[in-house]
Amino acid sequence: MKVVIVGGVAGGATAAARLRRLDEKADIVMFEKGEYISYANCGLPYYIGGTISKKSALTLQTPDSFRSRFNVDVRIKTEIISINRAEKTVTARNLITGEEYKENYDKLILSMGAEPVKPPIKGLENNKVFTLRTVPDTFKIREYIDSHHPENAVVVGGGAIGVEMAENLKNAGLDVTIVELADHLIAPLDFDMAQDVHKYIKSQGVRLILSNGVKEIEESDGRLKVILNKGCLLTDMLILSVGVRPESRIAKEAGLELNQKGFIKVNENMQTSDSDIYAVGDAVEIDEFVTKSKASIPLAGPANKQGRIAADNICGIKSKYKGTQGSSIIKVFDMTVASTGINERTAKAMGINYDKVFTYSASHAGYYPGGSMMSIKTIFEKPSGKILGVQIVGYDGVDKRCDVFATAIRAGMTAFDLTELELCYAPPFSSAKDPVNFAGYVIENTLTGMVKNFHWHDVKDLPRDGSVQLLDVRTTREYSNGRIDGFINIPLDSLRDNLDKLDKSKPVYVHCHSGLRSYIACRLLSGLGFDAYNLSGGYRLYETVVNQSNIEDYSCYNCK
């Protein structure tokens, strides 16, 4: 059996290694148009920032080492330019010599990945404009910084790569501005959860321009003039990071079935519309795990799994890919941002009967030094309580909590199941009631009617005419440091002594700092016959979203 693989990195290299482990006699040929077949794609920004200092650290396998270990015929700097399905051949072009030749196959695996989107913006061809997708891209950016010593940079695009690039350019000594067309950074997050990220990233000296885009780029006295939809910027270099599109041209020209966005359609075995051709990685359409809808989610973990599954099926092992849930995590200076499953925007757009809770939990026991708080937004199905998606923003311990939630989603668990999870506990690592358990308890209380919630976006619509009662149960000092208009202050510990100030005939909307004390207040009031509602996420979330949503306007920064 002869298997030809087009493209290396996560999907193609994994498929090749798995094929060899399953079949020592198979003839395996892997083509890669670049010179690197397996590299740490997610580590590229950290070489630019200096966290990774050696070029060699980015390369996981060289053509020679891959050939020696797995006996795979690796042909780098060779591009596959066409597929002849009838003849079962591919046409290869040596990018050094220009020579073209045909290679036959029994089975073909397409792992071409995706390429950076380059919008039709005048001036993108300037040599001070860069994209980051490959190892050569990385070296090009680093060499430019080392040789030209730019003082500032603009990053266009506030996704994971854009934010990571902003951090690493800042670490390299540049002043950095992020320009993002959407109203918040990091698309998997909802607007409210992104506000903590905005606040923190600004505190690190990175400027944000949101809800604004680039119209044109001009050369201006040796620098770049970046003309925005509103305003302009002057900069020494620009990183374009506005997304990727599938490299699926040869699949389309070969008549394989693609979706409207150009992603290759595959079945659960990673087979294309041609049973002898498989496709894996960033160029394929997949099922989104939670909603079962068609999607494209370019992540390294799924690409590795898909490569393995394609190899299994070629070798007669009936493996199935069961969907991508989009589990992802990024480092933002010292902050950690993680998510899994669907966000609220998706749940709303798909008409899912859902609800949400916001919880604010410590990474480990409060009495043990060094802990930090994390904000957790959990999306769940009503009335089942099935976990649909989670977003976590914080510092220590975010990764392991998101991994537990990701496992819960994959297993189809509900909030009631979360309350029963027995997770590792010792004061340096967690609390006896882990943040995951805590989210489960809060959802359980919501679903069983123990508490009725309202949210930060409901506050502005609450009447201030006396028809409802607005109650802040924080301490007097907290109240004096900042308050929500119309809310009176009765601290929780003195609430029982001040019940005469409240009217049982009117609903009571209650908040505290995080939602915990106000939950206790709601239980107290409900037990005495009041109709009480708790602000999920508390004043902390409300204040962050409302006050941070008005990002400072740097649209004319350094433009004159």
Beta carbons within 10 angstroms of residue 489's beta carbon? 14
**pLDDT at 56 (0 to 100):** 75
Q: How confident is the model at residue 399 (pLDDT cuts 50, 70, 90)?
A: very high
Specify the pLDDT at position 317.
97
Residue owning tokens 């508390």: 538
Looking at residues 402-406, what average pLDDT do you find?
Answer: 98
Token output for 75: 């042909």
pLDDT, position 48: 87
Question: Does 381 have pLDDT greater than 90?
Answer: yes
pLDDT at residue 136, as a whole number: 86
- Helix runs in 149-239, H state only: 160-171, 191-203
C-alpha 31: how far from chain center:
30
Catalytic residue chosen out of the listed positions 42, 232, 512, 522? 42
Q: What is the pLDDT of residues 412-436, one digit of tens each?
A: 999 999 999 999 999 999 999 999 9
Q: What average pLDDT score do residues 236-261 get?
A: 95
Q: Provide the 3-class DSSP secondary structure of residue 556.
A: coil
Type of residue numbered 293: S
Look up tokens 């046409």; give the residue: 91
- Tell me the C-alpha distance between 391 and 185, whole Å: 13
Given a cut of 80, whether residue 19 has pLDDT beyond it is yes
- Provide the terminal-to-terminal Cα distance of the chain, rounded to the nearest Å: 65
One-character DSSP codes across 30-74: EEESSS-SEE-GGGHHHHHHTSS--GGGGEEE-HHHHHHHH--EE
pLDDT tens-digit map of 20-34:
999 999 999 999 998
- Residue 524 three-state SS: helix
Establish whether 42 is a catalytic residue: yes
* DSSP designation for 338: E
Decide if 165 contacts 45 (C-beta within 8 A): yes
Query: Residue 407: is its pLDDT beyond 60?
Result: yes
Structure confidence by residue, pLDDT tens digits, 148-193: 999 999 999 999 999 999 999 999 999 999 999 999 999 999 999 9
The predicted model gives 361-373 an average pLDDT of: 91
- Could you give the CA distance from residue 79 to residue 457 in angstroms, rounded to a whole number? 52
Instruction: Please report which confidence band the pLDDT of residue 559 belongs to, taking 50, 70 and 90 as the band edges.
Output: low
375, two tokens: 């904000």
Amino acid at site 194: A
Whether 66 and 54 have beta carbons less than 8 Å apart is answered as no
pLDDT of res. 45 = 87
> What mean pLDDT do residues 509-526 have?
97
pLDDT of residue 555: 46
- Per-residue pLDDT tens digits for 37-85: 776 677 888 888 888 888 777 776 778 888 889 999 999 999 999 999 9
- pLDDT band at residue 558, thresholds of 50, 70 and 90? low
Q: Is 414 helix (H, G, I), strand (E, B) or coil?
A: strand
Which residues are 73's β-sheet partners? 29
Q: What count of Cα atoms within 13 Å lies in the side-chain half-sphere of residue 370?
A: 6
**Cα–Cα distance for residue pair 352/382, rounded to 1 Å:** 9
User: In sequence order, what DSSP letters do the residues of 167-192 get, joined into one string?
Assistant: HHHHHTT-EEEEEESSSSSSTTS-HH
Report whether pLDDT(86) > 90: yes
Tell me what the pLDDT averaged over the chain comes to: 94
Q: What is the rounded CA–CA span in Å between residue 528 and residue 135?
A: 65
Q: Looking at the predicted structure, is the pLDDT value of residue 554 above 50?
A: no
- pLDDT reported for residue 557: 53
